[in-house]
């Protein structure tokens, strides 16, 4: 059974937080909002509790999880070495949407990050997440609170849609602030590397250390469609996502042809478009969902997963959309869109 508590994100009530903290201490699962997306939390020092996360998500145990902390003292318990750059990044970006990969200490169960000697750690800034971490006073392992390969959950309703009955407590603090997951930085190699773009921008990281590399699966590959079969299914809607990229006028044209062709073959078609472009297609018998203003990448990032889920819920079997500029937060948006499309980009 899942118990849901509505919690004020600006001033979290102590009772539900205490109940959720007890639940974590008992080795059970708590879903909670963070400033990025909702997390599915378990005591990071309890291997059996971590196993419950993998079972609930139907996620392979080979995919490591991020450990959430509320104080730097906890970081010292989790890792064997904190390089100067980690101190600098933590001072600048924690609490916030940055995850640091560091060498794992022995007292951290292997279940957190099987097959690697590293552990990913993050101090979230969301008041409910921080209140829970403080009350439990445990490091909390928490992947995004969605079923494996589904879009990340950005509201409590999404969590219940995917994990209802599989998680003991859900703290409902409204929509997650940013809507995109944290930036993951690996500090265990010879050069600091961004493994996943997110809310802390590459530009801001390079301002601190100009040697930061970006090893994203998609951002440095211009044509991921060359190897679509090799890309893991991630953030995927139930519908097939048709992702167009190219000059604006050409893309809008190609999208109209695509919509017409899909309709002619009897598909239920959904369109995910910026506000400014939604009415270009209102003559067609399709479901149109707006994603935010073209000029506002924060808004698009905030809405992305939620709007993909909305189209899925409408029962469409094809979703047509296009890419956005890739600088700043656009890097994270591009990464999530390409993954949702399972690596297939239609260049026009």
Residues found near ligand TXA in the complex (CB under 6 A): 34, 36-37, 39, 63-66, 97, 99, 101, 113, 116, 118-120, 122, 124, 142-144, 181-182, 184, 195
262 vs 326: CA distance, rounded Å: 28
Under the binding rule (CB under 5 A), the answer on residue 144 touching Mg ion is yes
Residue 101 touches which of ligand TXA, Mg ion, none (Cβ within 5-8 Å per kind): ligand TXA
**Residue 37 interacts with, from Mg ion, ligand TXA, none (CB under 5-8 Å by kind):** ligand TXA
Return the number of the residue (63 or 161) whose C-beta is nearest ligand TXA: 63
Question: Residue 52: which of Mg ion, ligand TXA, none does it interact with, CB under 5 to 8 A by kind?
Answer: none
Q: What does the radius of gyration of the chain's CA atoms come to, in whole angstroms?
A: 20
255 binds, among Mg ion, ligand TXA, none (CB under 5 to 8 A by kind): none
SS3 (DSSP) at 291 = coil
Shortest separation between residue 33's beta carbon and Mg ion, angstroms: 15
Looking at beta carbons only, is 150 or 242 nearer to ligand TXA? 150
Q: With contact defined as beta carbons under 8 Å apart, do 129 and 39 qualify?
A: yes
Which residues fall within 8 angstroms of residue 28, CB to CB, at 6 or more apart?
Answer: 42, 49, 52, 168, 169
Nearer to ligand TXA, 12 or 97 (CB): 97
DSSP 295: T
Q: Which residue number, 8 or 58, has a Cβ lying nearer to Mg ion?
A: 58
CB of 181 to Mg ion, least distance (A): 6
Concatenate the DSSP letters of all residues of 321-345 into one string: EE----STTHHHHHHHHHHHTTT-E
Torsion of CA 256, 260, 263, 269, to 10 degrees: 0
Which residues here bind Mg ion, judged by CB under 5 A?
A: 144
């Amino acid at each position: 059974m899942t118990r849901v508590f509505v919690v004020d994100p600006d001033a979290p009530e102590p009772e539900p937080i205490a109940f959720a903290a007890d639940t974590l201490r008992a080795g059970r699962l708590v879903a909670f909002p963070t400033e990025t997306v909702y997390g599915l939390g378990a005591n990071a020092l309890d291997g059996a509790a971590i196993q419950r996360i993998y079972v609930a998500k139907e996620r392979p145990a080979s995919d490591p999880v991020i450990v959430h902390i509320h104080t730097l003292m906890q970081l010292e318990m989790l890792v064997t070495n904190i390089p100067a750059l980690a101190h600098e990044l933590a001072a600048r970006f924690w609490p916030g949407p940055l995850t640091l990969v560091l060498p794992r200490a022995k007292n951290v169960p292997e279940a957190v990050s099987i097959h690697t000697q590293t552990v990913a750690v993050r101090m979230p800034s969301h008041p409910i997440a921080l209140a829970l971490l403080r009350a439990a006073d445990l490091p909390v392992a928490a992947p995004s609170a969605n079923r494996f390969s589904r879009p990340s959950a950005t509201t409590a309703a999404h969590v219940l849609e995917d994990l209802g009955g599989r998680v003991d407590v859900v703290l409902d603090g409204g929509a997650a602030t940013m809507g995109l997951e944290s930036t993951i930085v690996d500090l265990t190699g010879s050069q600091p590397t961004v493994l996943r773009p997110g809310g802390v921008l590459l530009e801001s990281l390079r301002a601190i250390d100009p040697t930061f590399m970006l090893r994203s699966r998609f951002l440095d590959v211009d044509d991921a469609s060359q190897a679509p079969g090799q890309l893991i299914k991630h953030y995927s809607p139930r519908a097939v996502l048709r992702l167009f990229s190219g000059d604006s006028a050409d893309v809008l044209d190609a999208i109209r042809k695509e919509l017409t062709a899909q309709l002619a073959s009897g598909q239920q078609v959904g369109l995910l478009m910026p506000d400014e472009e939604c009415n270009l297609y209102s003559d067609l018998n399709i479901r149109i969902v707006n994603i935010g203003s073209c000029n506002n990448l924060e808004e698009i990032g905030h809405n992305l997963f939620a709007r993909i889920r909305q189209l899925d819920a409408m029962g469409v079997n094809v979703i047509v959309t296009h890419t956005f500029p890739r600088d700043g937060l656009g890097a994270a948006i591009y990464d999530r869109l390409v993954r949702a499309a399972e690596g297939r980009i239609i260049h026009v």
